[in-house]
Structure 1
């Protein structure tokens, strides 16, 4: 299941980067070659960039390749390192649930009536990236936490032998 989620999220990020490349190239050509800048491509590329940041950060969290300051963690025993990682994952999950999913969903619902001036789509559609990426982060939290529990149990087993 995780492999499938990874593939979907990475494909979305790749599609967003490709779309942004086309939009920004069009914007530059329209501005300098035709002296007629496109407001739609500028606004759409800005919104896509926000979606890319949110989905990309969820993807990196799932791969466990996010930035970390490991100086203190590396001084701990293996079991304490795992417990610290579990706590860090839990803090991230609490943030994803409370701020991104609940808060993001409420913000998205409140903005559904307001239209973007350039694209004429509800602003709530644009804000939908926040709760969606929060759900992805929550899924990755559950997967990572399960893996960490198994690592913790294995650390116990190896210590006993």
Structure 2
């Protein structure tokens, strides 16, 4: 039993690290996107010579930012919460509500991971490319969707385990 608990703690540490890394990469990519957009705006409106790649690369970086940072956002509890409802129920019911919403989120993200991975592989197999001058292989930007969904799925597992550990132990409460 101790080995299972130790394994669970180690997995939680690795998943939290991966999600934090994704969050950090997303933050760095925001500055990269800011630089590209600023460069594109200056080139377009000051020099009347916009780069052909600015908008497309900016879109791909935006996709990266959104999907790769999701696990870190969940880890740090920065998602939107309806406090109006949650604050009016007991602590035990709040935990059960968090477990239920996390399970629903996990199921959704697992399904999303599956279909996004299938679509990404489809893009890769048929070597589909963007129709712009860059001809970017489309599996590259699509790859961020299943990766991000997998990261958030793993973080949901960590959250669910953490919420379950907050539930009162039934043996110590006289429960059956």
Consecutive unaligned residues in structure 2, runs of 5 or more: 1-12
- From 114, 127, 132, the counterpart of 2:128: 114
Deviation at 1:11, TM superposition (A): 2.0
- CA distance change for structure 1 residues 141 and 59 in 2, over 3 Å: closer, same or farther? same
The one-character-per-residue Cα deviations of 1:77-129 (angstroms, maximum 9, x if unpaired) are 22111011000001000010002x10110111122221122332211111111
Partner of 1:77: 90
CA RMSD of aligned residues (A): 2.0
Deviation at 1:21, TM superposition (A): 1.4
Residue correspondence of structure 1 range 19-34 to structure 2 within 5 A: 19-34=32-47
Consecutive unaligned residues in structure 1, runs of 5 or more: none
Whether 1:51 aligns to 2:64 is yes
- From 141, 148, 162, the counterpart of 1:126: 141
- CA distance change for structure 1 residues 14 and 51 in 2, over 3 Å: closer, same or farther? same
Question: What SS class does the counterpart of residue 138 from structure 1 fall into?
Answer: helix
- CA distance change for structure 1 residues 120 and 6 in 2, over 3 Å: closer, same or farther? same
CA distance in 1, matches of 2:81, 2:87: 11
Give the TM-score of the pair, scaled to structure 2. 0.80
Partner of 1:138: 153
**Contact map agreement 2:29 2:61 (CA 8 A) in 1:** yes
Partner of 1:105: 117
CA distance in 2, matches of 1:7, 1:72: 29
Structure richer in helix, relative to its length: 1
Aligned residues: 158
Q: Which has the higher contact order (CA 8 A, sep 6+)?
A: 2
Give the TM-score of the pair, scaled to structure 1. 0.87
